[in-house]
Structure 1
Amino acid sequence: MSDPPFYPHDPPEQIAEDVFMVRGSIRMNPLLRITRNMGIVRRDRELTLINPIRLSEEGYGQLAKLGSVQRLIRLGPFHGVDDAYTVRRFSAPLMAPGPSSAHPLPEGTLPLSPDVPLPFPHASLFSFRGTKEAECALLLQRDTPLLLTCDAIQHYGDYRHNNLPARILLPWVGFPKTTLVGPIWLKVMTLKGESLRGEFERLLAHDFDALLAGHGSFLASGAKEAVAAAVERAFAKK
């Protein structure tokens, strides 16, 4: 089995106390390259990678300066193309909320649910109920409470790391420069005749002010209000 390639990405950047992000990209097809982000949570010198992405060797060197990778967390079923490689590279277990039709779970994957203790303190897991496949979000209590998501909620403050065709296309397929409920995710994950609005309202009952999603850019403040507005737009006609 060949290893997945790495795509352009930034160095790790601190976004909260012992929380970092790597803003990167992935090629969807020969035409489109879009953003993809990885979160990093540090406890002492132990690192947990959230929505792992493959890095360049230079990127892995920068990661090693932060600490030692001990585990991986996959929040959503459609992010996992680099998981098997990352598990092998670091001999670190993956935690995931359930099987994925897109990316099979590596052998030895551990369960991820609100009932399972997280590997770092001052954090809780939110699990979307009633979706076709399991997806979670992570809430970190820092000086600025932080929400980490996969595909369900995204924020685009800019289109950096999207190539030119993607930048042209994104506003026309439901990804303008704002905070949004992932339109493709919503269509794919909603059961026939059902609505997921109540799940987003349940998420909004939690405390958060910053947002790092699996795609787009980091939102440093005002995230809860932005997500509430995104939910209103997404379900206005539903």
Structure 2
Amino acid sequence: MSAFPSALPHGPLEEIFPNVFFVTGAMETRLMDADWCFSRNMTVVRDGERLIVINSVRLDEAGLAALDRLGRVTDVVRLGALHGRDDPFYVEHYQARYWAMPGMTHESGLPADETLSPDDELPIRDAQLFRFHTTTIPEGILRIDRDGGILVACDALQNWVEPDAFFSADSIERMQAMGFFTPANIGPLWMQNAEPGREDFDRLLTLDFRHALCGHGAPLRDTAREDYTATVDRLFS
């Protein structure tokens, strides 16, 4: 296991909706000639006895033990081109199938076992895949048909209301200036890299959903569709 990036600090694995679990942890990286430390989220969906890991965050030994008590990890899903640091760990540790968007390659060389497609079978039985068409990098969102509709997003949708315990002081200062701490936001750095068109978001907002679990920020409950509609109108006016 030493070949993989080590586990960074993280919080507890919590059941946000029935059979849908969520954990927030740290991410350390270097971007734009600066060191960054901020938070990121992993969502785990239980489908029968199977566990599907989305936006992976490596857990420490106690966290892995808590995960194992929930079921058996069988699948790892990569929705965003800018995430994936801990995917190889989960794929090898659990001998899991690896799912990724078309055109998405992992920097470690880890190949995808399955391609995520709106028209093909997905690892979650009651899920559908939304795929961005206008972006310069691959990105997808899963809609799970539970509790009025739950979106599981990576970078395209965010909900950082305020900094949390996993941020460094320098990262807080930079990200405040860049507008990251905005409820029901579209990721500012992702917008720069992906260059999405409004038509993708208009198509996304035709889906029926109430909640959003994003790769960054707190769970957004009950008003997600209305809140993201307002954000799209503001950013693409």
TM above 0.5, one fold? yes
Shift of 1:122: 2.0
Alignment of 1:14-29 (within 5 A): 14-29=15-30
Q: In the alignment, residue 137 of structure 1 is paired with which amino acid? A: I
The residue type paired with residue 92 of structure 1 is: A
Report if aligned partners of 1:157, 1:219 keep a CA contact under 8 Å in 2: no
CA drift of 1:35 comes to: 0.9
The question of whether the paired residues in 2 share the 8 Å contact of 1:98 and 1:133 is answered with: no
Q: Tell me the CA shift for residue 110 of structure 1.
A: 1.2
SS state at 1:168 partner = helix
Aligned-residue Cα RMSD (Å) equals 1.8
Question: 1:105 and 1:133, CA in 2 relative to 1: closer, same or farther beyond 3 A?
Answer: farther
> TM-score scaled to structure 2, two decimals?
0.91
For 2:105 and 2:192, locate their aligned partners in 1 and report how far apart those are by CA, in whole Å: 15
The equivalent residue for 2:219 is: 218
Amino acid at match of 2:101: P
Amino acid at match of 2:96: A
Equivalences for residues 71-82 of structure 1 within 5 A: 71-82=75-86
Distance 1:101 1:64 in 2: 28
- Structure 1, 29-38 or 127-136: larger mean CA deviation: 29-38
Quote how far apart the aligned CAs of 1:135 are: 1.0
Q: Would you say the 8 A contact 1:210–1:221 is kept in 2?
A: yes
Aligned position for 2:154: 150
| 2:102 alignment partner in structure 1 | 98
Q: In structure 2, what is the Cα distance between the partners aligned to 1:105 and 1:116?
A: 24
Aligned to 1:198: 199
Q: Give the one of 165, 178, 184 matched to 1:179.
A: 184
SS of equivalent to 2:225? helix
Contact 2:100-2:112 within 8 A present in 1 as well: no
| Structure 1 partner of 2:10 | 9
Distance of aligned partners of 1:210 and 1:9 in 2 relative to their CA distance in 1, 3 Å threshold: same
CA deviations 1:107-143 (Å, max 9, x no partner) are: 3531111012112222111001022122110001112
Distance in 1, Cα, partners of 2:107 & 2:220 = 28
Q: Report the Cα distance in structure 2 between the residues aligned to 1:207 and 1:93, rounded to whole angstroms.
A: 28
State TM-score, norm by structure 1.
Answer: 0.91
Q: Of 165, 170, 174, which aligns to 2:170?
A: 165
CA contact (8 A) 1:77 1:103 kept: no
CA distance 1:8–1:31, shift in 2 (3 Å):
same
Q: Does 1:209 align with 2:210?
A: yes
1:42 is the counterpart of 2:46: yes
Cα 1:44–1:151 shift into 2, 3 Å: same
Aligned in 2, Cα 1:173/1:101: closer, same or farther, shift over 3 Å?
Answer: farther
Within 2, Cα distance between the matches of 1:206 and 1:105?
34
Query: Which stretches in structure 2 are left out of the alignment for 5+ residues?
Result: none
Distance in 2 separating the partners of 1:109 and 1:208: 29
| Fraction of identical pairs, as percent | 34
CA distance in 1, matches of 2:186, 2:86: 24
Report the CA distance between 1:221 and its aligned residue: 2.0
Q: State the alpha-carbon separation in 2 of the partners of residues 113 and 76 from structure 1.
A: 14
Query: Can you give the 5+ residue segments of structure 1 that lack an aligned partner in the other structure?
Result: none
